[in-house]
Every structure is written in structure tokens, then in C-alpha cells.
Chain A
């Protein structure tokens, strides 16, 4: 029913006026577009094909719309979504890179270009094969990723010619047809709509020549049936509900019938439904004339077109109000997390794709929650790490609050392992932190009563983590974790500080086994000189040392104990350590990756992947170094790993109580006696290794 109080249409015949089609751009479509832009398109702003979903009007008082849902963005070649209320219609999406680009789009030109495609499809006969091409639409948009908004406009191009379309008659189908015919038509329409093949075809023709039954035919069947007489109806799915106007699709349909099938006068059927049933009372039958226009068949001809949605009469195009999708409501739970990952996703646009899945699934074990531990944990979260295990045995003291960047004064006296958790969560709500208060079992240091438990706990922690960061304050406390990592072939990253020099490295892979026979247990103990890829192993933190770990603190003066270090050094070393880790993660060989040397190796997408980085701020030196694993290393050599594998914690306890045992085991005692050893790589900085420690 037409509303009473509105402008009545002029008497017939009159220029054809249609009811505009509207778009329903679902918020989830906007969300999908945001992710597509962020994760796939990057800076690419070329037009992409999308799919809209069209339906005939189903409600007595509401006209149907073209829906854009997340499925719309699935590439048409892979998109099989479609059903009776989701007739797929091809469209084009132009998503610009910035708001200026969006505003500067020549919307008039773009509309005509789309109209030209429709004209081409009419002339080439493509419409007969894919009638929905007549409904081709255009979306221009700008995805404001930072503010979670999408700005867009939709156009439904409709061809305009110099010749005018005239409406000759328009009445409810139930009034035009005899009861019998109406029944027959209704039955045929129902069949058409329940067949998967035909229900997605919004344009068809109705053969009424036979008295007994009415047949609905596809456009592509036109050639076979041209002689069937004059009783034809050209039907289309009409999105409109109004009794006084046909829907938008009729205009292009008439253009098609005139240009391709040379008809100057057509009888048309505006097909509408109620619920899921054909509704012939609401459906309209009418007649329109369209004298053939001139000049359109020129190959360069660009047709005029109308169709920008929301354009009001009298308004200039530029004042057209932009539509906006607010995505804030879409996923409030995930929004904070996505904000925090934005910078990493953007790195993928021009730099290198950060493997966020891997980073967020990696559990990072941080040994030490002091100056280095605070910095490294923060940086790892910034890199997208979301699973942290922090181990520390100390308490926050007043002097820590300045140097250890996560703590505040109310944390004083609280165990670091307790204090650090809320500070990490405050910064990154999505992070999963486990914090454990315990001392790392350390050779040569006073043994606590829980040392055996601690050893077992550390074994479990290392085994259940993907990477271990060695950030403790003494050199010797890194021995046991280093051994565990070598034994488990686990990634390990070390950072250490001197007074004005710093050091960051990744440990090499653990020893591989000599594959012999099928006895796994026997094979485990036959260690090879190489890693499992058969490459020479890179060294660990201890590979260049020729002494066993001893208590390096007790017999020192205070300035030596605290290893006085220049402020800022910890930040630099932590930055290198976290960066080294992400590069290692991105390398296809992972832990087995060879060590790059600056100046001699070419860099991968994430940059060089050195083995060790050694820097000094006094001279502004930065060196990338590479050293192979030493066969007499006290932490990762085959002799030590073999001993650990056969004797387990007995061996570890022996070392803790009697560190020089390691020197005998690895042959260091012999080596030192022979006195003519030389250091492998880092000759220039020979003796200050043991001074690397943080606080």
C-alpha cells in the first residue's frame, strides 16, 4: 500500500521513475575489510572484485537492500556462498590508503567506468550468461585502521541515454492476470525460486503463450525461443515494495532489452515476495517504451550514469554525506590487543611480515627480572610475545626502582616475581604471565636446601618453554640453564653488561646424535660433533671460557660485585637481545641458522642474523661476531651433555658442589697446563668475560 500523504505520481504515460536501491553494509563486513587491509592488502589500493547479496522484496512495507557481509570479500573465484535470499552480484571495491585519496576520487568518472562495463557486458552477450552483471555495483572506501572506522560510499550504476524511458502502465500482477494465469505463474515462480540453479538469477523472462502453463526461462535460452509470439513478460527480482514505482533494476534491464534484443516496448514483471512465497498482489506488471538511443555502440563511448547512493536532488555530489562504519563495537574484547599489535602488522606492509602467530604462541622463559629482565619482557610484548614465564629469586629494593624499569616504589620489599606480574598485565592485558620465585641453582655458590627441587623445576620450565633468555646477574648462574638448553636443543638468548660494554648472543644448537641402529637410548648418548642438520654448531655463552663457574661475587669489592654499569646500557643490550630473538624466529633454519657477520653476509628480510653482538659505548663500537662451539666447553660440549644425560641431577649436584670437576671432565685442566691455547674469535677483548654481568 502506498502511504497516503505523499506526492502522487503523475498520470500515465509518464517518464519512468524507479525506487532506489539501498545498501546494507554490515558492520562485520567493515571488520573483515579492516583485517583484509591490515593483513593482506597492505599498501595495495588497486580495485578488488567483491560480491554483494541481492534479494527480491520480502516484506510488505520494507524494500530489500543489497547486503555486504564478510563473505563479500572472499574472492569471487573461491566464493560459493549464495542462496535464494543471497543472490550474488558482482561489485568492485576501491579502498584508498588515506582519507585524502578517498576524497579526491573522481566519483563521477568511476561511476561512468562501471556503467561502461555494464554496457560492454550487454553488447558482448555476457548478460545472457550472467544476468546479475546488470546489477554491478561499486564501493569506494577508506579504512581508518587507527580509529576503527570505515568511510564508504556505494553506487549502483544505472545507464542513462539521451532517449527517455516511458512508463505506459503499471498495476498489481494479481489485477492484470486472470486467476488461472496468476496461479500458474505463481507455481512457476515458486519452482524457479526453489531451484538452486535458477534462484540466484535475478533476471528472467516469462513465456505466457501457452494457455495451459506459464514457463519461466533463463535469459540464455532466448535465442531458441524467439518465435514463441508476443505474450512475453520480462521479469526481475524487484527490491522495492512500493506499488507506484518499480525497483531500480528495471532501468538497466530495459537498456539491455533495447540494446541487445532490440525491443522498443517491453512488458515487465516486478517480482516480489512475502516471506518466502511469491506475492502477486505486491508484484507489478507494467509496460515501458524506450526508443533506441544513438551513438552508444561506438567502442569508445562512455555512457552517462546515475547511481550514487544517498545523493539528494539539488545537492552537489561533493556535499553527499559519507557513510561510516564504527568498528569499535565489533570486538571490544579484542580491540585493545589489536591496537597493541597494529605496529607489527603495519611492519608487514613494507618491511617484512612479522609472524604474529608464532610470536604469540611462543612461551618465553626469562631467567632474571632485574634491569635486563624488565626491559626484555617489555620489548618481547611489544614484539607480539604473549606468553612469558619469569623466574627471579630476589626482592625489589629502593635502588632497583630507577634502574629496573617496571617497578615503582610501592614494590619495595616485594619479590620481583610477584611485583612484575601486574606491571606486565597493565601494559598488555592479553599477556599470559607465569612468575616463579626461585634461585637458579648455581655452581660454586652457597647451596640452599631446596636446590634439588629448584633443579627439577628449572628442568621442567626449560622443557615447557620455546626460548630461554639468560638475564641473571652473575655469569655462573647461567651455566645450568645453558646446559639444559644445549641438551634440549632449545633457543637461548643471553644479554650481559659490563661497565660501558654490552653483549648479546644466541646460543648455538645442541649436539645432534650419531644415527646408528634403531636403539634410541643408545643413540641419545652417541653425540655427534654437529647439530642435527649436520652443521658445525655455534657456541654458547661459555664456549670461550677456560675456567669452571665459581662464585664470582663473594670475594669482590662492592663496585665489582654490582658491576657498575652506565645507565642506558641495559636498554641497548635488551633491545639487541629481543631483536636477535625475533630475527632467529623468522629465519627458516631457526636455531640452526648460521651466524652472519656484518659486511660479509647479505641480509634477509629481517636483517642480519649474527651469532653475537658486542658493543661498547665509550668508543661507539658495535661488532658482530661468530664463534663455533668448543669441544671443551663447560656447558654445551658433548662431554658435558653426555654426562648430564647419563647421570642427570647427580651430575648437576656434583658440579654445584665441586665446580672444578667440570674442568677435569672437559679437558680444560689439561688445556690450561699446556698453556699455549688461544682464544677462538674474540681475541681483542680477551679477559673481561667474567665481568659481564648485570645487576
Chain B
């Protein structure tokens, strides 16, 4: 299906939509171990009316904890000061909590998916690129530094018209061509996004469950 275009590493809009829906379904069907929420299909809105053909996939509300403090998994940090006690309520500190939103958007000029993302402090302030980099595991940073295709820029989100960070899509079709070559012919375009995400996710520290690549 759509073999010719997928083989050169690109996708048509229809293939993107189909692949996106396949990703959403597959992701929600598997047990995601690191408390990642589900991907959601978001139709674009023109004058408030959802579009039937254009949209993007969103993974929102991904938490990253404690860039400043120690490791992510330790069970015993918050010091007593972190909790404020009142007569009727308590308040936990969220100072070290960052919130990330990821969107996969189709690029008409490159004919490939593009990752857009933003990071927020728990109070809502946007994170700068430097702050985001501090949240990334070391292998992601290495990838960002060494790989030619992974550089982060800040660009207008095509559907939200405000600046988001994005991984530049140049080169995507080249390495996707290599990646897809190894996959079987069967439903190659449907698996496109999962395969793509396995590479792109690494660059932004998104842990993709292995099960996503297992054929059920």
C-alpha cells in the first residue's frame, strides 16, 4: 500500500493520517510502563469547525521530575519543607516538576512527520531550550550534539500559530528510507510513525515502550 512513496522515506498526507491513527490505537492498547499518557488525534480547527482531513497527534502532560534534585526514581526526596500544611489542606511542592507536550505534525514541504514540543514549569512558564536540555538524559544530549539531522529550532507551530520547539525535518526521509528498508513490506506506511518515533523520541528523551514495535 502506497509502497512507492514510503520507500523513498516520505509519506503522503493520507498515509500520515492512517499511520497516526494506527499509532494512537496501538499505543493505547499496550501497557506503557513509565506513566506516559496516550497519544490523541487532534483535528485542526478552521473557524472552530474540526477538519476532517487535517490534524496532528498529541501526547500531552508528560511529566519530568527533578532536574535540579537527584535521580528521577529515588523514593525519598521531598524534605518536610516541601509540604505546606494548613487547617484544611496540604500543598505539595511542584518546584522540580516540568510538564511536556509533544505534537507530531505533517510537513507538506518535506512530506514527513515533524515533532513539535514545548516544556512548561509546573506553574506554566515556558522552559527555554537550555532548561529543556537539562531535563534530557545524557544519551539524548549526545545524539543532539553528534547527529547532523537532530537540531532543535523554535518555529511557529503550523496549527497553533505560536512558537514551539521543533526537530528540523531535513534528513528525515533519508534515514527513514534506511529504517523502513529493514521492515517487511506489510503495512509499511502504517508502521511509519512508530518507527520514526523510535528515533525521534530518543532525541527528546521520550521513552518509547518496546512493545510498540512488536507485531501483535
Contacts and interface: CB of A to CB of B under 8 A. Distances in A.
Interface of A: 1, 3-7, 15-20, 22-29, 31, 55, 58-65, 67-68, 70, 74, 78, 80, 83-85, 158, 160, 241-242, 245, 248, 251, 274-277, 306, 311-313, 323, 325-326, 329-331, 333
A83 B60 CA distance: 11
Interface string B31-50: 11011111010000000101
7 contacts: A6-B83, A19-B92, A23-B123, A26-B120, A28-B162, A274-B35, A325-B124
Interface stretch (B10-18, B72-80, B196-204): B72-80
A331 B162 contact: yes
B86 interface: yes
Contacts of B77: 3
Contact of B125 (A5, A27, A63, A160): A27
B63 A59 contact: yes
A19 B162 contact: no
Given A276-B28, A329-B126, A330-B163, A6 B89 contact: no
Given A17-B88, A27-B120, 12 more contacts: A6-B78, A19-B89, A24-B122, A28-B162, A63-B94, A64-B61, A65-B94, A242-B90, A248-B89, A325-B124, A325-B125, A330-B162
A323 B88 CA distance: 23
Given A23-B123, A59-B63, A31 B162 contact: yes
B52 to A, nearest CB: 15
Interface string B116-136: 000010111110100000000
A328 to B, nearest CB: 11
A7 B83 contact: yes
Interface of B: 28, 31-32, 34-38, 40, 48, 50, 60-61, 63, 65, 75-80, 82-92, 94, 97, 99, 120, 122-126, 128, 160, 162-163
A68 B124 CA distance: 8
A650 B118 CA distance: 63
A59 B62 CA distance: 9
A59 B35 contact: yes
Contacts of A60: 35
A323 B123 CA distance: 9
Nearest to B72: A61
Most buried by B among A58, A325, A326: A58
3 A-B pairs with least C-beta separation: A276-B38, A25-B124, A27-B126
A6 B90 CA distance: 12
Contacts of A80: 48, 50
B91 A275 contact: no
Contacts of B89: 17-20, 245, 248, 306
Given A24-B123, A27-B126, A276-B37, A85 B60 contact: yes
B87 A313 contact: yes
Contacts of B80: 5-7
A78 B122 CA distance: 28
Contacts of B122: 22, 24, 62, 65
Contacts of B75: 1
A311 B89 CA distance: 11
A326 B125 contact: yes
Given A17-B90, A23-B123, A330-B126, A7 B85 contact: yes
Contact of B99 (A24, A277, A313): A24
Contacts of A15: 87-88
A1 to B, nearest CB: 6
B124 A61 contact: no
B85 to A, nearest CB: 6
Given A24-B120, A80-B48, A325-B124, A331 B92 contact: no
A275 B88 contact: no
Contacts of B84: 312-313
Nearest to A65: B122
A646 B144 CA distance: 66
B187 to A, nearest CB: 24
A331 B163 contact: yes
Contacts of A16: 88
B162 A70 contact: yes
A4 B123 contact: no
Contacts of B128: 329
A16 B128 CA distance: 40
Nearest to B76: A4
B125 A85 contact: no
Most buried by A among B75, B89, B163: B89
Contacts of B40: 83-85
A242 B88 contact: no
A242 B92 contact: yes
B86 A313 contact: yes
Nearest to A86: B60
Contacts of A25: 123-124
A424 B31 CA distance: 60
Contacts of A6: 78, 80, 82-83
A491 B75 CA distance: 73
A20 B90 contact: yes
B160 to A, nearest CB: 8
Contacts of B85: 7, 313
A312 B32 CA distance: 37
A26 B163 CA distance: 13
Contacts of B90: 17-20, 242, 245
Nearest to B60: A85
Contacts of B123: 22-25, 323
B35 A58 contact: yes
B206 to A, nearest CB: 13
Contact of B78 (A3, A28, A65): A3
A276 to B, nearest CB: 4
Nearest to B209: A275
Contacts of A65: 94, 122
Nearest to A245: B90
Contacts of B37: 58, 85, 275-276
Contacts of B160: 70
Nearest to B78: A3
Nearest to B37: A276
Contacts of B76: 3-5
Most buried by B among A24, A31, A68, A158: A24
A29 B120 CA distance: 12
Contact of B88 (A4, A18, A274): A18
B158 to A, nearest CB: 15
Most buried by A among B35, B77, B78, B124: B124
Contacts of B65: 61-62
Contacts of A1: 75
A29 B94 CA distance: 20
A80 B80 CA distance: 42
Contacts of A63: 92, 94
A326 B124 CA distance: 11
A46 to B, nearest CB: 24
Most buried by B among A19, A59, A84, A333: A59
A110 B61 CA distance: 31
